[in-house]
Amino acid sequence: MKRLIAFSILLVAFFSAQAQDTKLPPPVKTGGKPFMETVAARHSERAYVKREMPPQMLSSLLWTANGFNRDGKRTVATGWNKQEMSLYVVLDDGAYFYDAHAHKLKLVAKGDFKKALGQPEVTNNAALSIVMVADLNKSSIDNARIGTGGTSQSIYLFAASEGLGTVARGSFKGAELGKALKLNSKQAITLVQPVGFLK
Amino acid sequence: MKRLIAFSILLVAFFSAQAQDTKLPPPVKTGGKPFMETVAARHSERAYVKREMPPQMLSSLLWTANGFNRDGKRTVATGWNKQEMSLYVVLDDGAYFYDAHAHKLKLVAKGDFKKALGQPEVTNNAALSIVMVADLNKSSIDNARIGTGGTSQSIYLFAASEGLGTVARGSFKGAELGKALKLNSKQAITLVQPVGFLK
């Protein structure tokens, strides 16, 4: 009987988690500004107009930032292709893990975790914040920081191409944010980057 | 008399250095592949066909990698805009410093320094190698690594847009290369990235 209850709890937990995951549409791999115009337009923006990001745009953004664009390899390099970097997404209703293999958002926890991101004047009006997380079981923090910079630049360029605003932020509340994202002791947050709509 | 000789030596040194510096043409800030196609095409290439890079392409590459695209600010973010990252370029005939303000290549030393870059099978057929250097008087090595990743990704995307090949390389001969580039004790090489033509 105890086993049956335990199994039922597991089953309910599994399906309720599944129900809250969000399958992303495939990224759009065409279009955008010509590359050199994208570079010319690249800059930091901290003032956003609150709007939800459409799933198609979110899909292309996350794929650009750290998706797979060819056989088992990502849009951003990591040293010796260790792929130690993962992205988490903080939306108004919860924190999600970007599963780049399945190209979906997996719910980590429901709730408003924006406070842990710090700088509410920047964070609160963003459509979302991307949190870059290194798995130190896979590679060193030094390599992870280089991978982080690559993802950050890709987000900057995506924003420039799409007319969105973004800024790389180092001043987050690490312990609080790590707890919200349920990180383990070998996972380190390297950077936070909000993306938002401009006036 | 001694003063006159010293002054003459300075004068000669100044003009011979000037003569070897290379003013780059302005970068082309339009054109290239659409951004999303650029991301889709981004990948590493290690086999190149030896060819010299035309000055116009070199100019746009370096500007994309770490130039100024707006008032005093660069195409790649650094923490608190400390701009601790500099680029050096190793060509077959010498090592150069990319002066992003003047948008020119300043000769550091004549000679063939490709050996210090390591991996001759990758390096020797590249048109050039970009060496990323952090000034630790300006910022921390941790921040510099994130800036390094941004520059590396911009080079990857420029290569994808232009149909060139590139690969980020961590296995360079640090001491030898630092000597070739005449770096001081507060400058650290963070990454080397060759760029070359494909078959």
In this model, does residue B18 exceed pLDDT 50?
A: no
Q: Is A75 close to B42, i.e. CB distance below 8 A?
A: yes
Buried b (16+ CB within 10 A) or exposed e, A59-80: bbbbbbbbbebeeeebbbbbbe
Return the pLDDT at B3: 66
Q: Is B32 close to A34, i.e. CB distance below 8 A?
A: yes
Residue A65 in any domain: the answer is: yes
- Please state the rounded mean pLDDT for residues B55-65: 98
Return the pLDDT at A3: 67
Structure tokens at A120: 């509410």
For chain A, the straight-line distance linking the first and the last C-alpha, in angstroms and rounded, comes to 59
Q: Is A149 close to B146, i.e. CB distance below 8 A?
A: yes
Structure tokens at A114: 């924006």
What is the rounded CA–CA span in Å between residue B124 and residue B47?
10
CA A176 vs CA A17, A133, A189: distances in Å: 22, 14, 11
Q: Is A154 close to B153, i.e. CB distance below 8 A?
A: yes
Half-sphere exposure in the Cβ direction for A100 (13 Å, CA): 22
For chain B, the straight-line distance linking the first and the last C-alpha, in angstroms and rounded, comes to 59
Number of domains in chain B: 1
- Please state the rounded mean pLDDT for residues B1-19: 55
Residue type, position B81, single letter:
N
In this model, does residue B20 exceed pLDDT 90?
A: no
**Residue among A30, A37, A38, A39 with most chain B CBs within 10 A, to mutate:** A39
In this model, does residue A90 exceed pLDDT 70?
A: yes
Residue A128 in any domain: the answer is: yes
Return the pLDDT at B7: 61
Structure tokens at A111: 């709730």
How does residue B128 score in pLDDT terms, banded at 50, 70 and 90? very high
Residue B146 in any domain: the answer is: yes
pLDDT, tens only, A6-16: 666 555 554 44
Which value does ipTM take for this structure?
0.90
- Please state the rounded mean pLDDT for residues B154-165: 98
Contact residues, A window 162-181, toward B, CB-based 8 Å cutoff:
168, 170
Contact residues, A window 2-61, toward B, CB-based 8 Å cutoff:
27-40, 42-44, 60
Range of the domain at B93: 23-198
Return the pLDDT at A15: 46
- Please state the rounded mean pLDDT for residues A52-59: 98
> Domain containing A73 — which CATH number?
3.40.109.10
> Is the CB of residue A95 less than 8 Å from the CB of residue A172?
no
Q: Which of the pair, B3 or A111, is modelled with greater confidence?
A: A111
What is the rounded CA–CA span in Å between residue A39 and residue A28?
20
Residue A18 in any domain: the answer is: no
Nearest to B146 among A44, A64, A191 (CB): A191
Residue A12 in any domain: the answer is: no
Residues 6+ positions from B47 with CB-CB distance below 8 Å: B125, B165, B198, B199
Q: What is the mean pLDDT of chain B?
A: 93
Residue B72 in any domain: the answer is: yes
pLDDT, tens only, B63-92: 999 999 999 999 999 999 999 999 999 999
CA B169 vs CA A67, A85, B53, B124, B176: distances in Å: 21, 18, 20, 14, 16
How does residue B15 score in pLDDT terms, banded at 50, 70 and 90? very low
Residue B100 in any domain: the answer is: yes
pTM of the model: 0.91
Residue B27 in any domain: the answer is: yes
Q: Is A29 close to B38, i.e. CB distance below 8 A?
A: no
